[in-house]
Amino acid sequence: MIVLVLGAGAREHALALALSRDPSVTRVVVAPGNAGTPDTAPVDPADPAAVTALARELAADLVVVGPEGPLVAGVADALRDAGVAVFGPSAQAARIEGSKAFAKEVMAQAGVPTAAARVFDDAQACAAHLAQAVAPYVVKADGLAAGKGVHVGSDLEVATAFARDVLSAPGARVVVEDFLDGPEVSLFAVTDGTTVVPLLPAQDFKRVFDQDTGPNTGGMGAYAPLPWLPADAVPQIQREVLQPVVDAMRERGTPFAGLLYAGLAMTARGPQVIEFNCRFGDPETQVVLALLDSPLAGLLRAAATGTLADHPPLAWREGAAVTVVIAAEGYPAAPASGDEITIGALPPGVDVLHAGTRRDGDRVVSSGGRVLSVTAVADDLGQARALAYEGVSAVRLRGSHSRTDIALRAQRGEVSLGDSVPTPEERT
């Protein structure tokens, strides 16, 4: 099987590595890729015609779409229309990530537990609503915002100003919703629009600095599985969240086939949905796929061709995986680029996955905010953590920074279901 992976991040590098381990795969091309992905093709992954032409030229048996942008732009529709098997939802179905208001509508239809929410297009009405709401306030821009369109905080003026700022753009809408209190879980499900196969639960670290301080980022690290999550949580989320949403999408006439990513808070009232994404998460994918023993291309092709019900149950490696992101100087506000990266000897069990990197002659230099994702697999979380940080110390990149506490509280047994989650002000 020849597989084309669209995207350029550590998620796509992880997908390429896992796909290459599948014995049925003869070639994996990542487009546009980065300095870590050996087989690349230059393409704008959000250009449906260019991607379709590339898939034809490569005679790809499967296209796996990494980021949300191409999905929302209809790349999966164009490929499907051209008769190419594609893992990724239609533009209509990708709205589950592309519009928070749409996601709320689907959840209401499907009876899925989520924060109560109201949608506003008028700043004055929104301010009046916030003034009588209970802190902490959660305000979200409606639309794709690369993780930066959400404000959570207890200061009414700041929340109101955030909403006003978003609504100053023509046609903008905001969603104001209740604060969900509890530790967060990212659960990915592979689906063909009918059958739902959950992967291992993971947790990511969205804030840039240790102890969850500083601004939100695309994600600074992740680990899987979650030792503190009860064994029945994944089946419960499948039953109460994933399957009902997949069924509702099909009943609406916009079946969701691809990767449904549920971001959940484990609250006192059970799992509640914070958000859906229409694609693999980054950096959670790095740890989830590191533990997958089943052939990945076979699984994704079954989802792409509507035959997931016949797929054998997934096999997972025992143990744990941890990934630590190495970010460029200045990330997330103003990341530096063009700095040389050198990687020393790595211990066994460690992969350095590339994100914002490119080749410059025979050097590898930084070219984005999240530069590398150092991923380790070991028999337990403590060992995986130690190995990942050993890998981080083997990397030289001027001015770079990483969190030092990825998976630390879980390793120490300090995460529990009853935890209250502090707001950003309470942490600083």
Candidates 66, 70, 89, 219; binder of ligand GLY (CB under 6 A) is: 219
If one asks whether residue 180 binds ligand AMP (CB under 6 A), the answer comes out as: yes
If one asks whether residue 147 binds ligand AMP (CB under 6 A), the answer comes out as: yes
Shortest CA distance to 190 belongs to which of 59, 305, 323, 76?
305
The binder of 275, among ligand GLY, ligand AMP, none, by C-beta within 5 to 8 A per type, is ligand AMP
Among residues 206 and 311, whose Cβ is nearest to ligand AMP? 206
Report which residue type is found at 115. A
Closest contact distance (angstroms) between CB of 355 and ligand GLY is 12
Choose the binding region for ligand GLY from 135-143, 208-216, 278-286, 363-371 (rule: CB under 6 A).
278-286
Report which residue type is found at 303. A
Under 8 Å CB-to-CB from 308, ≥6 apart: which residues? 190, 191, 192, 194, 195, 197, 302
If one asks whether residue 12 binds ligand GLY (CB under 6 A), the answer comes out as: no
Closest contact distance (angstroms) between CB of 148 and ligand AMP is 8
Neighbours of 131 (CB within 10 A): 10
Token look-up 């009046």 returns: 128
**Which three-class secondary structure state does DSSP give residue 75?**
helix
User: Element (H or E) spanning 250, and its range?
Assistant: helix 243-251
Closest contact distance (angstroms) between CB of 150 and ligand AMP is 4
What DSSP character marks residue 313? P
Rg (CA), the chain: 21
The binder of 282, among ligand AMP, ligand GLY, none, by C-beta within 5 to 8 A per type, is ligand GLY
If one asks whether residue 160 binds ligand GLY (CB under 6 A), the answer comes out as: no
User: How many residues make contact with ligand GLY (CB under 6 A)?
Assistant: 7
Choose the binding region for ligand AMP from 5-13, 38-46, 127-135, 178-186 (rule: CB under 6 A).
178-186
Q: How far apart are CA 363 and CA 373, in angstroms?
A: 19
If one asks whether residue 282 binds ligand GLY (CB under 6 A), the answer comes out as: yes
- In a 13 Å sphere around the CA of 322, the CA atoms on its Cβ side amount to 26
The binder of 219, among ligand AMP, ligand GLY, none, by C-beta within 5 to 8 A per type, is ligand GLY
Positive or negative CA dihedral for 219, 315, 189, 38? positive
Among residues 295 and 356, whose Cβ is nearest to ligand GLY? 356
Closest contact distance (angstroms) between CB of 96 and ligand GLY is 13
Neighbours of 420 (CB within 10 A): 10
If one asks whether residue 244 binds ligand GLY (CB under 6 A), the answer comes out as: no
Is residue 173 within 8 A of residue 101, CB to CB? The reply is yes
Tell me the pairing of strands 203-204 and 196-198. unpaired
* Per-residue b or e along 87-121, where b marks 16 or more CB atoms closer than 10 Å to that residue's CB: bbbbbbbbbbbbbbbbbbbbbeebebbbbebebbe
The binder of 177, among ligand AMP, ligand GLY, none, by C-beta within 5 to 8 A per type, is ligand AMP
State how far Cα 407 lies from the chain centre. 17
The binder of 152, among ligand GLY, ligand AMP, none, by C-beta within 5 to 8 A per type, is ligand AMP
Residues interacting with ligand AMP, by CB under 6 A? 115, 138, 140, 147, 150, 152, 177, 179-180, 184, 206, 263, 274-275
* Binding residues vs ligand GLY (CB under 6 A): 147, 204, 219, 277, 281-282, 284
